[in-house]
Chain A
């Protein structure tokens, strides 16, 4: 990362001052980003016969990933003055500057049997230089969407200086049927709704799946024994087993630690819900809270040292932070209304939550000390945020009102912009966004 930054700075310096931008191409993601950065993606070159369709599909998906962030705006091909003769050919920067394309993405696709190779270069048009080195991804034609996402992640990352999130998956609860006979099953999909697969059938209620940090396992609550219990599901084999929790009438609301070795969850005993931690290797259980109030929805800090959770110990549902070993907890939510489902950002800087106030639900974020609360959404029922791998976007479920109410997955960025329904077929709830795939 440092290497390309330095080379980009150096290149910009050599290119001289007659540029429309100051310094190298860089989009800093802040609340102030209002004007999307214009980019151009001429169709990726088909370098083998028969690669034309895949080249076109990959080009479209790269452009779509970037444009859907709301941070970038694609310049339509009809505006292009020239197109590259071949991948890696000298770039006619003047032609791209003339249409104000600040970033130019070049690519090529080669197919041999079921093998696919995708090459990619990113150009800083106004600096007149390549931004970072060329990249090449190899895989099977079946995995073409992942390769397009990887190209888009690389472009996003080079321009913003932050990690991408396009080559990632989401596990969630797929819903069918009316409100009073709803059928739920676990499903997994790409972040953009593609490649939907079901992980369980709908014979028992399943709730709130949570990805492991590496994306190889999923924790969820299941009623398959007749009572709520926590299951661990292996994503590759789709094999599942019940987690051996501490003793309790109901176990629910599980979440992995960032190293994937521990699980924190809620256990209800005698009507009282407290937090527990189970070490997966040793099977040892630790009770973290002992209060007559409700303690649930725990989430680890990225360093594993602390836990944010919700409790009604003050009389209403509020957010608290305590050591990962339990002990005293500090309340961090003080606004009007009730706060629940806190989730610690992978960057460590923010807590996302669900807020209920005056008959409306909101998804919001606040700093870990409770300051700078910002509500990003408002509706009849917004619930259960989950962070994108880079901590810049939240996905959540929005349920509509009334007898025909259904739940749909949405995403919004942490400045509250770019609210959009996730294009997954069918109703869904309880999303959990997995890591960037290797």
Chain B
């Protein structure tokens, strides 16, 4: 209970515009309590997002997502900088695995957007591998346009939905 309160407080302080809604529904890999329990075994403090080795720190401070241009899977300069940080974190925290989720905005047909999301997720995976993250710690998935985080039908929302999000996970990637 105390942990939850503390984590929430830190979360509120650190997250401004960042969306705290999980991208995955019911998959378990985004279960921060579980991830934290695994990483923080025997350690009492610091916890949550203040702990540089926590998935929360990865998501909020390193940055868990990169954005793409319309119908593109090419990394932007900003995206590459974020991924450099992700690669460094994943190398430091070698116990973690990651799933890269590719997403598209609603301006496209369903099947094409699934394929486009797969392309985006793979671009991120390849980049992380090129920066030294072992390939067997990275898996990809595409949600196409199924899981938007912003709901307006304007470019301001579309820009945030055209994303690849690196979800930190513990346990085997089966």
Contacts and interface: CB of A to CB of B under 8 A. Distances in A.
Interface in B115-136: 115-116, 118-123, 125-126
Contacts of A182: 146
Interface in A392-425: 399, 401-403, 405
B114 A179 contact: no
B110 A430 contact: yes
A381 interface: yes
B27 A294 contact: no
Contact of B140 (A178, A271, A273, A380): A271
Contacts of B147: 180
A212 B138 CA distance: 36
Interface residues of B, number: 38
Interface residues of A, number: 44
B151 A180 contact: yes
A179 B25 CA distance: 14
B95 interface: no
Contacts of A310: 109, 111-112
Contact of B112 (A179, A272, A297): A297
Contact of A294 (B115, B123, B125): B115
A203 interface: yes
Contacts of B108: 340, 356
A273 B120 CA distance: 12
A266 B153 CA distance: 28
A174 interface: no
Contacts of A356: 107-109
Contacts of B112: 294, 296-297, 310, 312, 317, 340
A403 B73 contact: no
Given A203-B26, A249-B118, A270-B122, A340 B142 contact: no
Contacts of B116: 294
Given A179-B151, A399-B106, A208 B118 contact: no
Contact of B109 (A252, A270, A316, A340): A340
Given A205-B25, A250-B114, A381 B106 contact: yes
B119 A271 contact: yes
A227 B102 CA distance: 12
Contacts of A16: none
Contacts of A178: 151
B148 A273 contact: no
Interface string B135-174: 0000111110011111111000000000000000000000
Nearest to B119: A271
Contacts of A294: 112, 115-116, 119
A250 B147 CA distance: 17
A252 B111 contact: yes
A203 to B, nearest CB: 7
B13 to A, nearest CB: 24
Given A180-B21, A271-B121, A296-B114, A380 B153 contact: yes
A164 interface: no
A405 B25 CA distance: 20
Given A271-B119, A384-B109, A402-B153, A253 B114 contact: yes
A207 to B, nearest CB: 6
Interface of B: 21, 25-27, 29, 71, 73, 106-112, 114-116, 118-123, 125-126, 139-143, 146-153
Given A205-B25, A296-B112, 6 more contacts: A271-B118, A271-B126, A294-B119, A340-B111, A340-B112, A405-B106
15 contacts: A179-B151, A205-B25, A207-B114, A249-B118, A249-B139, A250-B114, A250-B118, A252-B111, A266-B114, A268-B118, A271-B125, A273-B118, A294-B112, A296-B111, A403-B151
A-B residue pairs, 8 tightest by C-beta = A271-B122, A340-B109, A273-B115, A268-B118, A294-B115, A403-B151, A179-B151, A401-B153
